[in-house]
Structure 1
Amino acid sequence: MIELNLTEEIISRHTEFIFGEENVNKNGRINKKLEAAYCSERSKLGKDVFKFVIDRFKEIVLSDIETLYKIKEEYTEVLNRISTESTKKRVHNKLKKMFHAEYKYFYSDSVFNAYQLQALLDINICPLCGTQFIFLYESESGTTRGTLDHFIDKGKYPIFAVSIYNLIPACKVCNSDFKRTRTVDLENYYTPYEKGVIEYIKFRKMLIPNVEEKIVPNIIEQLKIEDEAEIDYVSALLGINDDFNIKVDYSSAPPNIFNKIEGNIKLFKVEELYNIYHKKFVREQIRKAYVYNYIYRKQLMYNFSNLFITEEEVRALIVPNIDDDNKYILNKLIRDIVLVETESFSI
């Protein structure tokens, strides 16, 4: 739900990490292992696989996700030319050992590492769900950061274990609990590094026709709502009750992007989690928006002129700035719903 930007500095530092002279000893190991594996491989088709990786190594490390998928298809074709399963498995395992070792170096390398990647991306919130902090902290007594999701699974395709566009800081829930090793593709899913996808995603508060339509956490809660009274639409609009569902609207997206968004929304259980845990928060934000109506904002500017110079500064109290989406959870949810729900009050 948050777009990430790989800057020139990040690309440059990752290039230095993999290919730089400072790391010649460390990175010499994987290069030498690739070359040694090529020379020692008995199978002609096995040699072709190692030769493919050696020739395309720089592209594999630095290319964008679209290019990586093209390389993945070519790599799969070369690997599948090996008809003997034992040979194919041996080649795969050798590559896995090499690239996974290189990925482990990335945990805490002095030239460039996973902590520095997250810091340079300037992201404290999981870009896949927007609901979890991915704290970045380093000290002598302890460290923590977001997990790194591999859009192309590094177990099945180890050659992409250190591809910079395949390293996505994420929360444990999205990475380890929901996605895990699931195979995804660019037709039905998107990565936060893809440009222009997020602009089609909008959160909406949707009134429900009956209480049975509420999205609830489990069967016990579903049984509870059967005893509820009829829906109070006025209270729902004013944020007094939760007779509504939080929905993700991406209906304006072109078909190819529509499919990507739909895939991510389902994969990361976005609507379920937002409805289960964040309805009360939405209600509070809507009530605040009604309180901070146009007249009250003008009054605040007048009474607290030393604090507020422009109306936009007062408005920012309830409508988060898009530039802060990478710093605070639920920013986009608040902005989308509050603006729509209270537009008639000149918010």
Structure 2
Amino acid sequence: MIGIKISDKKIIERHFEEIKNHLCNSKGLKYKYSVLDNWILGITDNTYNLEKVIKAKPKQLKSIIDKVEEVGIDFQTEPPTKDKNNDYEKAQYFLTLYKKFSTRGDNHFVRYNALQLVNELDINVCPYCNRNFINNTKLIDKSSNNPYVKRTAQLDHFYPEGKYPYLAMSFYNLIPVCGTCNVIKLEQTVGVNPYEIKNTDEHIIFDYSFNNSISEYKVDTIYMSRDYEKNWTVLGLEELYKIHNNYVEDLLHRLRLYNALYRKDLTHYFNKWDERTDSQFESHISKEDFERVIFGNYFLEPDLNKFPLSKLTKDIVSRYR
């Protein structure tokens, strides 16, 4: 639905370095970094090491999967006896790492964990549906009476960790999403990774149509890429967006009430007010700021991660204002 923009590539480097530091320096681990590194090399026919798997970009993740399947090692079937040297146990250890990384209060990832990752990505709404906030919140720990930050975003594995455990800690496989999308998607796969989205119009463009009569509006689409159709279907977005039919009606009313000429006059008025010495405005009101207030939402591509339904707003506003 919307893209996840990475403003600083150091986030990816830190993600890898913290995992490496944990595997190299923590005591009592079942597997050290060198063991897992060699195992990854083995299951990819010496094509990828652990660092490349952790940092692999979305298209590279698919190449890694293809290579592992080409080698044909079975790490899905649990052997009758436990042996730390078998492929199954090593694959499952990546799920153990993810559990430590994603669990609040786990003492293995103290400086950096899933909470820090979501914070650094600086995304406020679910990239899969663009309907729900995923910002963090502060709570009080009942046992200690100390405040702590609760991660409300859930981390989805774009490629399900149950089927591809070796990708459980790969940066671009971790998607912060809302609980609704995570529960619906589960172990299914979708077609478009939010990290790949540069321009949302390349994947979907919203519009509206009528529901039984011309007085009943409904959310509709006029374009959807073939890859994105899988996201739309798997996540059940057509059904979920039905509850936003009234939002479209309200937005169309705003567009009619505040037509282009009226908006121009109001912008001129506020700009004149802004020039007064007793003005309460601290800075000039831009055309985009003013229209955001009028339309009740963000509607520019770089701002789509800030507020729910911003992509729907962008498409309706762009088409009919």
Partners of 1:61 and 1:160 in 2: how far apart?
7
Q: TM-score, normalised by structure 2?
A: 0.78
Q: CA deviation at 1:36?
A: 9.1
Count of residues in correspondence between the two structures: 291
Partners of 2:313 and 2:176 in 1: how far apart?
23
Could you say which residue in structure 1 is the equivalent of 2:9?
8
Could you say which residue in structure 2 is the equivalent of 1:64?
57
Could you say which residue in structure 1 is the equivalent of 2:233?
266
Could you say which residue in structure 1 is the equivalent of 2:196?
194
Deviation string for 1:254-307 (max 9, x for gaps)?
xxxx221111111111121112x1111111111112111233224323543225
Deviation string for 1:136-182 (max 9, x for gaps)?
23552551231111011111111111000100000111112x11012
Structure showing the higher helix proportion among its residues:
1
**Rg larger for:** 1
In structure 2, give the amino acid aligned to 1:203. Answer: F
Partners of 1:94 and 1:74 in 2: how far apart?
20
Q: CA deviation at 1:315?
A: 2.2
The equivalent position to 1:173 in structure 2, one of 161, 177, 180, is 180
Could you say which residue in structure 2 is the equivalent of 1:279?
245
- Partner SS state of residue 250, structure 2: helix
Could you say which residue in structure 1 is the equivalent of 2:144?
none
Following superposition of structure 1 onto structure 2, how do residues 70-81 of structure 1 map, counting pairs within 5 Å? 70-80=63-73
Could you say which residue in structure 2 is the equivalent of 1:246?
219
Alpha carbons 1:137, 1:145 under 8 Å: kept: yes
Partners of 2:17 and 2:158 in 1: how far apart?
23
Could you say which residue in structure 1 is the equivalent of 2:95?
100
Could you say which residue in structure 1 is the equivalent of 2:278?
none
**Distance change (3 Å), C-alpha of 1:88 and 1:14:** farther
Partners of 1:19 and 1:36 in 2: how far apart?
10
**Distance change (3 Å), C-alpha of 1:88 and 1:4:** farther
Q: CA deviation at 1:313?
A: 3.8
Deviation string for 1:17-74 (max 9, x for gaps)?
1224x76323983642873998xxxxxxx99956969962111111112112111122
Could you say which residue in structure 2 is the equivalent of 1:238?
none
Partners of 2:210 and 2:82 in 1: how far apart?
54
In structure 2, give the amino acid aligned to 1:179. Answer: K
Any gaps of 5 or more consecutive residues in structure 1? 39-45, 212-230, 234-240, 252-257, 342-346
Any gaps of 5 or more consecutive residues in structure 2? 140-146, 275-280
Partners of 1:333 and 1:205 in 2: how far apart?
10
**Distance change (3 Å), C-alpha of 1:195 and 1:274:** closer
Partners of 1:78 and 1:268 in 2: how far apart?
32
Could you say which residue in structure 2 is the equivalent of 1:18?
19
- Partner SS state of residue 317, structure 1: helix
Following superposition of structure 1 onto structure 2, how do residues 84-99 of structure 1 map, counting pairs within 5 Å? 86=79, 91-99=86-94
Could you say which residue in structure 2 is the equivalent of 1:130?
130
Deviation string for 1:301-344 (max 9, x for gaps)?
35432256554443232342423211110011112113323xxx
Are 1:340 and 2:310 an aligned pair? no
**Distance change (3 Å), C-alpha of 1:292 and 1:18:** same
Q: TM-score, normalised by structure 1?
A: 0.73
In structure 2, give the amino acid aligned to 1:29. Answer: L
**Distance change (3 Å), C-alpha of 1:158 and 1:283:** same
Partners of 2:54 and 2:81 in 1: how far apart?
23
- Partner SS state of residue 337, structure 1: helix
- Partner SS state of residue 326, structure 1: coil
**Distance change (3 Å), C-alpha of 1:34 and 1:119:** same
Could you say which residue in structure 2 is the equivalent of 1:207?
210
Let me know the Cα RMSD of the aligned residues. 3.4
In structure 2, give the amino acid aligned to 1:147. Answer: Q
- Partner SS state of residue 190, structure 1: coil
Are 1:325 and 2:292 an aligned pair? no
Partners of 1:60 and 1:47 in 2: how far apart?
8
Partners of 1:310 and 1:142 in 2: how far apart?
35
Percent identity over paired residues: 30
In structure 2, give the amino acid aligned to 1:263. Answer: K
